[in-house]
Structure 1
Amino acid sequence: MGFSTTLWEWYGQDEHKRVLAVCEAIPALQFLALPADSQRNAIPYCPACEAWSEMMLPLNEVLSICGSAMPAEIRTRLQATWELCNNLTGAAFHCDDWFIFDHNDWTPIRTAAEELSGLMELLEITPFLDDVLLDCRNAVRGIKR
């Protein structure tokens, strides 16, 4: 059973917080897997601030919310990716430098994010992402479907 099946099971069991956490991490993983130029072009303001709040914190959120419910291999790799993000050096991660993504410290993050994307079967999930995000956000906020 692949991870996309696990996600759909959670969705069918109304585990909306878990599904929402995973779905919010998907664009983050996709961003972290991009080449430096693409990352730079995807960030509207301070690269470090935007990357941290929008692209790295969702990884920790998944770990916090889904925890041991995730398959061990995915949880372990997600934790390792989160640690890589947390351990970026000052040279590779500081405010107002549009070229932080060119630093070599980002290479293992890109590799880890790419591997996670495959393990989590993001190609199978992404076509449904917008609808699932909307549904889960509404459910978590108590808005009737």
Structure 2
Amino acid sequence: MPDFVALICQWYGADELESIDAIARLIPALEFVAMAAAQQEQALPDCLACEVWNSRMRHVQDALLIVGDALPDSIATPLNRVWALYASMGEVDLPCHDRSIFQRGHWQPMREAANQVLSAMEPGAVKRLLADLCR
């Protein structure tokens, strides 16, 4: 059993459902960040700058707040990088109603860090576990 899956099982056994929920919301958020710019643009309706926060990046922040200290370094380090890169953006980087924000250069390092997190998390195994736990 992969280490991260074992950690989720420990949370489940300790009835730490908030931690499990944070991971369940984090994976789709990271999968979004890892997408190519064109895919990101198509995945969100309306104002991309607002939607990326509301439907994706707040889940990254929540996961760091809820389980950040419990994550192995292989996950925590690139996850913190994703958040730091996003948090460093200003209004000029996220103008409302600009459909091209994901084509800007600062998103590529975020994509790379998100891919590192996903690789370390083994999202397929985590998703299977989460599906089993929800039955």
Q: Quick check: TM above 0.5?
A: yes
Compute the RMSD of aligned alpha carbons.
1.9
> Is residue 5–residue 129 contact of structure 2 (8 Å, CA) maintained in 1?
no
Residue number in structure 2 paired with 1:12: 13
SS of equivalent to 1:29: helix
Matched letter for residue 92 of structure 1: D
> Is residue 81–residue 110 contact of structure 2 (8 Å, CA) maintained in 1?
no
Residue number in structure 2 paired with 1:138: none
Structure 1 runs, 4 residues or longer, greater than 2 Å off:
88-92, 126-132
Q: CA deviation at 1:73?
A: 2.9
Q: CA deviation at 1:65?
A: 0.7
Residue number in structure 1 paired with 2:108: 107
User: Residue 53 in 1 paired to residue 89 in 2?
Assistant: no
Q: CA deviation at 1:72?
A: 2.6
Matched letter for residue 15 of structure 1: E
TM score, norm. by length of structure 1: 0.83
Correspondence list, 1:87-98, <5 A: 87-98=88-99
Matched letter for residue 54 of structure 1: S
Length, aligned pairs only: 134
> Is residue 4–residue 125 contact of structure 1 (8 Å, CA) maintained in 2?
yes
Q: CA deviation at 1:77?
A: 1.9
Identity over aligned residues, as a percent? 35
2: distance between equivalents of 1:66 and 1:14? 14
Q: CA deviation at 1:130?
A: 5.4
Correspondence list, 1:1-145, <5 A: 1-129=2-130, 132=133, 135=134
Q: CA deviation at 1:13?
A: 2.2
Please list the CA deviations of residues 2-44 of structure 1 after superposition, one character each: whole Å capped at 9, or x if unmatched: 2122112212321100010111111100000000110011001
Structure 2 unaligned runs (5+)?
none
Q: CA deviation at 1:67?
A: 2.8
Structure 1 unaligned runs (5+)?
136-144
